[in-house]
Amino acid sequence: MNARRPSCVMMAGLIALAAMLAAAPVRAGAETLLRTRLNADIRSTDPGTNRDANTDGVMAHLVEGLVAFRDDTSIGPMLADSWDVSNDGKTYTFHLRQGVKFHNGAVMTSADVVWSLKRWLDPATQWRCLSEFSASGIAQIEKIEAPDTQTVAITLDRATALFLPTLARPDCGQAAIIHHDSVGPDGKWIAPVGTGPFKLGDWKRGQYVDLVRFDGYVARSEPRSGNAGAKTADVDRVRFNIIPDSSAAKAGLLSGALDVVSNLSIPDLEDLKGRPDVQLSITPALGLTGILFQTRDPLLKDLRIRRAIALSLDTPEIVDAVMEGTARANNSALPIGSPFYGEAEAHGYTQNVAEAKKLLVQAGYHGQPIKMIANKRYSYVFDSAVLVQAMAQSVGINIEIEVLDWAAQLDRYNRGDYQSMAFTYSARLDPSLSFEMLTGPKATQPRKVWDNPEAQVMMQQSMMIDDKAKRQELFDEMHRRFIDDVPMVVLFNGSEIAGLRKNVKGYAGWLFAQPRFWGVSIR
């Protein structure tokens, strides 16, 4: 008897509650609310300092820089309407946009730009990208001047092709121009008073971040492209719910509790296809997933063994299975979406089992185990490792997978302490940076996978020159050497998959795996 009572009460309560929920109006008033998801809370509201990819994505709605990345990774105007570069390539003169308003109503002038840039360069700000502007970085900033209220001139100590791309980098907080009310009199961060189409609303840590439409925003006239172009807020409020578990997020989308779920995992795709009330947005992304080899390892220092592994793989089949047709095979360090991705880059490894076996015999390999580190934080990394293991097995290579958590894998990566690992790099928006993340001297930078001095020289050259054809030549040559050296096997660039309710209009993913909610409306 007693056993039944609590469960009866529970059932009754459940039914009563359900009835109440059904009766309660879901949306009160005329406010339009777009509900989306973050897989982890943002780190802070202080862009470019205490940040991660989620933080960058949210901040891109609140603040803007002088320039911004377009959809094709080229640089477009944002708060600067145009700019001139001096003949020696060292001085950039920015002509600011007229009548841009901060969230507090103040009109932006060159003084705000100078103040913001100087704040970024102040070591106390702890800007993530400060080291880029140090002696070991791309260039040092020698002078920041404001000849009039609408002009800012920046002088560098040397010419570089990477100055504007670095300013535009989302992880650098887009070197945002903010109002000085964003910080207190002591210089401590309070909240972003930026120029973006949204203002920061309520931030309930661990639960949600709200963005509210900024009514004083005047959009640029060019069409929306990347973080550049027209940014109009078509909804009153955007709520980023913090939902770590992707199955739960998917359930939220299906039940209508969420309107947009980005960063969907591949297994979810299967389930969402063919649902009448859900649409999918699939865009190629700029990340890079592949198998890294430690070329200092006693076994893997033998090029023939590395090459044998590469030749044992049917990359298109791996990519097809792992990404379920949402991504294309790519053995190049440059992402497929890059404007520099040409015919040379499309030339990679072709599966050749006989050749692989021959190389193994020559190298005297007889089944010594090769450890491969993988993680389960990114399902596609783990799945790639499983398929590589199976295919390598078929030519007689004995790979053992070791699963680590992401932080532990990063530690091994940074120390170069591995035989091989399945790894995923985050997006690099410039081809020079794509090579920079791979090549370097292992003695001083153990995380670099490709230790080839000639390639490093070419990489440095590609950073200095601005001429597209010359850069292309360098990248093509580096690609050929990269394929010959087999320091790693690149498999594919990821894809950004978002699930949307049918009534969401205007959403588009882009190369950078961060959702954008300007220009998005709910019908």
Partner 1 sequence: MRWRANTAIGGTLIALLLGTAVAAAFWTPFDPLRINLKARLQPPSSLHWLGTDEFGRDVLSRLMTGASASVVVALATVLIAVSIGVLVGGVAGYLRGWTDRIIMAVNDALLAFPGILLALAVMIVVGANKTGLVLALGLAYIPSVARVVRGTVLSIREREYIEASRVIGNSEFYSMVRHVLPNAMAPVAVLATSMFGWVLLAESALSFLGLGVPPPAPTWGNMLAASRPYMETAAWLSVAPGLCIALTLLGINLLGDSLRDRLDPRMAHG
Partner 2 sequence: MLGYLTRRLAMTIPTLFLVAIAVFTLVRLIPGDPVQVMLGDNTDAAQAAQLRAQLGLDQPVPLQFLYWLGHLATGDLGHSITNNLPVLPLILERFQVSAVIVLVAVGLAACIAVVAGLIAAWKQNSALDLAIVGGATLLLSIPSFWLGLLLLLLFGLKLKWLPVIGYVPFSENFWQAAMFMLLPIATLTIVEIGVLTRMARAASIEVLRLEYVTHARAKGVPEWLVLGRHVLPNAFAPTWTLIGLVLGHLLGGIAVIETVFTLPGLGRLLVDSIFARDYPVVQGCLLFTAVIYVVVNLIVDLCYPLFDPRVAVA
Residues 243-262 that bind partner 1 (CB under 8 A): 246-247
Beta strands in 375-519 (DSSP E): 399-403, 420-425, 488-492, 495-501, 504-505
Torsional sign, CA 336, 48, 155, 106: positive
Pairwise CA distance, residues 74 & 466, whole Å: 13
Least CB distance from residue 383 to partner 1, whole Å? 8
Q: Which residues contact 111 (CB under 8 A, 6 or more apart)?
A: 146, 149
Among residues 6, 29, 30, 270, which is the contact residue for partner 1, using CB under 8 A? Answer: 270
| Residue 353 lies near partner 1 (rule: CB under 8 A) | no
Least CB distance from residue 273 to partner 1, whole Å? 10
Least CB distance from residue 494 to partner 2, whole Å? 13
Least CB distance from residue 41 to partner 1, whole Å? 18
User: Which is nearer to partner 1, 328 or 442 (by Cβ)?
Assistant: 328
* Collapsed DSSP state (helix, strand, coil) of residue 409: helix
Give the pair of three-digit tokens for residue 481: 């050497």
Among residues 223, 408, 417, 468, which is the contact residue for partner 1, using CB under 8 A? Answer: 408
Binding-residue pattern over the window 309 to 338 for partner 1, x denoting contact by CB under 8 A: --------x--xx-----------------
Least CB distance from residue 146 to partner 2, whole Å? 29
- Count of residues engaged in binding partner 1, rule: CB under 8 A: 25
Least CB distance from residue 447 to partner 2, whole Å? 7
Give the pair of three-digit tokens for residue 403: 């699963």
| Residue 402 lies near partner 1 (rule: CB under 8 A) | yes
DSSP 223-269: PPBTTBS-----SSEEEEEE---HHHHHHHHHHTS-SEE-S--HHHH
Q: Which residues contact 340 (CB under 8 A, 6 or more apart)?
A: 334, 431, 471, 472, 475
Give the pair of three-digit tokens for residue 119: 């704040």
| Residue 111 lies near partner 1 (rule: CB under 8 A) | no
Q: 174 vs 98, 424, 481, CA distance in Å?
A: 20, 23, 33
User: Which is nearer to partner 2, 88 or 417 (by Cβ)?
Assistant: 417
Least CB distance from residue 205 to partner 1, whole Å? 21
Which of 375, 356, 458 is CA-nearest to residue 413? 375
User: Which is nearer to partner 1, 166 or 326 (by Cβ)?
Assistant: 326
- Positions that interact with partner 2 (CB under 8 A): 1-3, 6-7, 10, 13-14, 17-18, 20-21, 40-41, 43-44, 50, 52-53, 126, 128, 130-131, 134, 136, 171, 205-207, 241-245, 247-249, 251-252, 254-255, 257-258, 377, 404-414, 423-426, 437, 445, 447
Pairwise CA distance, residues 458 & 460, whole Å: 5
Answer yes or no: are the C-beta atoms of 385 and 348 closer than 8 Å.
no
Least CB distance from residue 384 to partner 1, whole Å? 12
Pairwise CA distance, residues 227 & 216, whole Å: 19
Among residues 43, 118, 143, 376, which is the contact residue for partner 1, using CB under 8 A? Answer: 376
- The residues of the shown chain that bind partner 1, judged by CB under 8 A, are 246-247, 265, 267-268, 270-271, 317, 320-321, 374, 376-377, 382-383, 386-387, 389-390, 401-405, 408
